[in-house]
Chain A
Amino acid sequence: MTELLVKNACVIDPLNGILLETMDIPVRDGKIVSSVSSAADVIDARGCLTLPGGIDSHSHVCGTKVNFGRYMSPEDMRAGRTARRGKMHVTSGYYVPTTFGNSYRYSTMGYTTVLEGAMAPLEARHTHEEFTATPHQDMLANTLFDGNWAIMESVRERDFKKTAAIVAWTLAAVKGYSIKLTNPGGTEAWGWGDDLSSIHDPVPNFNVTPAEIIAAMIEANELLGLPHSVHLHCNNLGKPGNYRTTLETFDLVPDKNNARQTLYATHVQFHAYGGTTWRDINSKAEEITRSVNAKPQIVMDMGQIMFGRTMTMTADGPMEFNLYCLHHNKWSNHDVELETGSGIIPVLYSKKSLVNCVMWAIGLELALLTKDPYQCLLATDNPNGAPFVKYPEIIGLLMSRRYRDEEFATLHEGTGQRTAIASIDREMDWNEIAVMTRAGQAKALGMAAQGKGHLGEGAEADIAIYPIRCHAVDPATEYRKVVEGFQKTMFTIKRGRVVARDGEVIVEGANSTFWVNPSVPEDLSVRNDPEFVRKFREYYTVRMDNYPVQDVYLPRGKCIRTEGAL
Chain B
Amino acid sequence: MKAILNTGRTVPQGEAVEHKASPTYRAVVSVCYMNPVDLMELGITEGAHVAVTSRTGRIVLTTWTSEGVSRGEIFVPLGPYANHIIAPETHATGMPDFKGETVDIVPTDEPVKDVGSLMEEIGGLRYDH
A–B touch (CB < 8 A): the answer is: no
